[in-house]
Amino acid sequence: MKTNNDELVGVYGVLKEFPLWIIAATLMAMMVILVVGRGFLEGLPYNVAYSSIVGENGFIIVVLIAATVLKREPVCIMSWFSYIEAHISFLVLSLAICLSISIFTLDLRSGQWMDIYHDIVVAPLFMFLTIMLLPVIWKNSRGVEKKVTLCLMLLWISSFGYDITKGSLAQRPWLRSHGVHMQEGGLR
């Protein structure tokens, strides 16, 4: 279904309307909050997971590709993605999935506030954006945009797999195992 870009709703309308630099700055700020928050709350600004450092920053580029595509006329959007209710439903679903994962895995990781922030703000937003934006990129982008998107998504997936095998998703235990001495309330 082709749509006039003036009819874009939800995240599509937001990405179409805002300049790319504001979109990038907003998503990058979410990642900066993670490191700065750890510095204030735990005593050390750290982020050792490659999926966060490399993968999520690569994903920001994917979002910028999608925003670029949405700024073109006309855009082909799947019919059920053209309703605000679909956007809200997928956002709530993403939040529910990430919150459930957080509840069941928090004790395996650090259990600190910034992990919870990542689990209920960053991860659901990125999951939601993946669901909503990959079909738009696939249907409307140019060849190079598809290839870059595929490469960046594979980079995120492989960095996530690497983090799982190296144990770096559980960042505080990983830091301890690499010689960082930590106290119960924070790092020393």
Task: Look at residue 187 and tell me whether its pLDDT is greater than 60.
Answer: no
pLDDT digits (tens, 9 = 90+) for 76-132: 998 889 999 999 999 999 999 999 988 888 777 666 788 889 989 999 999 999 999
Is 117 inside a domain boundary? no
Is 113 inside a domain boundary? no
Provide the domain count of the chain: 1
Is 47 inside a domain boundary? yes
Is 27 inside a domain boundary? yes
Query: Which amino acid, residue 49?
Result: A
Task: Look at residue 176 and tell me whether its pLDDT is greater than 70.
Answer: yes
Is 169 inside a domain boundary? yes
* Domain span holding position 170: 2-83+129-187
Prediction pTM value? 0.88
